Chains A and B, each alone.
Chain A
Amino acid sequence: MTKRGGALPSPGRMSIMKGTKVAYFFLLPALLYVLLFGLYPLLYNIFLSLRDVTFITYIQGTARFVGLGNYRELFANPIFQRTFSNTLLFTGLSILFQFTIGFLLALLFNRSFPLKGVLQSLIMVPWVLPIIVSGSFFRWFFSDNGMLNGFLLAFRLIERPIPWITSGHLPIFSVTMANIWLGIPFNFVLLYTGLQGIPEELLESAEIDGATGWQKVLFIITPLLRPVILATLTLGCIFTVKVFDLVWIITQGGPGDVSHLFSTLSYSLAFNKLHFGKASAVLIVMVLVVALLTALLNLFQREV
Chain B
Amino acid sequence: MAKQSPVPDELSKPFWDAANKEKLVIQNCKSCERLHHPPKTECDLCGSGSHMEWKEMSGRGTIYNYGVVFDCPIRTLQEDQPFNVAVVMLEEDPGIQMYSHMPGIEVDKVPVGAAVEIIFETTGSGQKVPEWKISENETRA
Q: Do A and B associate with each other?
A: no
